Structure 1
Amino acid sequence: MPLQFAVQSLTGDAATVSVDVRRLYNFGYAGRDAASIQEHIDELVELGLPAPGSVPALFPLPPRLATTDGVISVTGTDSYGEVEYAMIRADDGQWYVTVASDHSDFEIEKLSTSKSKTVYPDVVAGTVWPLAEVREGWDDLVLTNRRTDADGTEVVQQSPVATLLPPEALLSVLEERTGGEIPVGTIVLSGTVAGLPATGAPSWEVSLEDPIRGRSITLSYAVDQLLAELVGAAARAS
């Protein structure tokens, strides 16, 4: 089923766009500072995560993993959200931008980054901006990630998008590696900013703020933490 997005435009006109998702890609290690990227990779390797095969890393995912749902289901407490900007080429042929969370599982990431990205959805906000409207002043946009648990709400990631490669750079890499024009129905996540959020929170909120134009897009979603297994009475008693 196509995803529907509300377009928040500077013209003030109310509109919606539809996206029949045919391609979904996640970038990783897509920062502008090569030294900082390598430092981050080294830190993750020390934590047991594999190093990427190339920088920036680029992962093709099943299109069904793109969702605007407000609740996702996970197994156990090892998952966490990561804030990213998302670019969407809608069915009208135009590019739009919004905020997203690449929800991941830390323990599976230790085995394979690419496999970990196919376990849980890419949660995408239901509101978008025309990409052309934010090209000017792009570096002033700010990404924020908040996790909420029983102890309260905490900002775990916050950074200007200036720390990440800009849209034209990411799309150029995508075209080069796929060998052709990016088709309608494509969603591209940018890779995340600095910070490794603690796992296990039942609620996440990510936002993309445009301070120049005084607007923002916020995505909140809940995590339904499933038990690993429902055991019988004999097993519970042992």
Structure 2
Amino acid sequence: MQFNTENGSIDFECRQVVVAGWTGRDTHAVQHHIEELAAIGVAPPSKVPLFYRVSNSLLTAERNIEVLGTASSGEAEPLVIRHDGKLWLGLASDHTDRQLETISVAASKQICGKPCATSLWEFASLEGRLDAIIIKSWIRENGDWVLYQDGTIGQIKPLRDLIAAADLQNGSAMLCGTFAALGGVRAAEDFRATMTDPETGAEITLEYTARALPEVS
């Protein structure tokens, strides 16, 4: 997979994908996210945070993914990649099957592709201001783009702590968790997200469509 950076591009050979869950820095916010998922039938986690392994092939730069049925939606998350000993920061969506999530969170993560933006920022150059970086997402509802998430990386546990806890090795990518959905978690076909550095105005964008495959019994 090829990513663009400020100084060129890198060819990333993905050997491991980790999806970090329940990573909120504010314990009350984590509990709120647990409760909003419980409202749609998702069992609470055994501990927080949790690290789910999913297939390497799920990380994708494609702008169209295929999902089973119409009960899935995305979550905007920081993406950390370790390539040739160096850390990079990007933007991805932990697209999840909400119906399957009520049965198995791990299975709901594995069944859906994880779209990511093709731009990366050098992690070390941002480390002093990571908490201020803004992440927003939108879903299309009734033909209109509706704000779905609005927060900062500062609402997520320190990324260095997550990197250490996940033991992120070369060739690994980690989706680092998210924050609550405005109006509650719900299914959506079209998803858009941005990650903005308020100090420089630089922005990474992501947009994709999840095409529903028919459920045949």
* Residue identity in the other structure for 1:148: R
Please report how far the alpha carbon of residue 159 of structure 1 lies from its aligned counterpart in structure 2 after TM superposition.
0.4
Q: What is the distance in 2 between the residues matched to 1:223 and 1:113?
A: 19
Aligned pairs for 1:127-142 (under 5 A) are 127-142=119-134
- 5 Å matches for 1:169-208? 169-175=161-167, 182-195=168-181, 196-199=184-187, 201-208=188-195
Deviation at 1:144, TM superposition (A): 0.6
Aligned equivalent of 1:4: 2
Corresponding residue of 2:144: 152
Could you tell me how far apart the structure 2 residues matched to 1:72 and 1:224 are? 6
Q: Which residue of 1 aligns with 2:113?
A: 121
Larger radius of gyration: 1
User: Does the 8 A contact of 2:138 with 2:147 survive in 1?
Assistant: yes
1:219 offset after TM fit, Å? 0.6
The alignment covers a number of residue pairs equal to 215
CA RMSD of aligned residues (A): 1.5
Partner of 2:204: 217
Moved more, 205-214 or 220-229: 220-229
Q: Secondary structure at the match of 2:20?
A: strand
Partners of 1:107 and 1:59 in 2: how far apart? Answer: 18
**CA shift at 1:212, angstroms?**
0.5
Q: Conserved in 1, the CA contact under 8 Å of 2:32 and 2:180?
A: no
Name the SS for the 2:139 alignment partner: strand
Unaligned stretches of 5+ in structure 2?
Answer: none
* Unpaired runs of at least 5, structure 1: 176-181, 232-238
Match in the other structure for 1:179: none
Partner SS state of residue 33, structure 2: helix
Deviation at 1:35, TM superposition (A): 2.8
* Code of the aligned partner of 2:5: V
Secondary structure at the residue paired with 1:114? helix
Shift of the alpha carbon at 1:152? 0.6
1:38 is the counterpart of 2:28: no
Q: Does structure 1 conserve the Cα–Cα contact (< 8 Å) formed by 2:68 and 2:212? A: yes
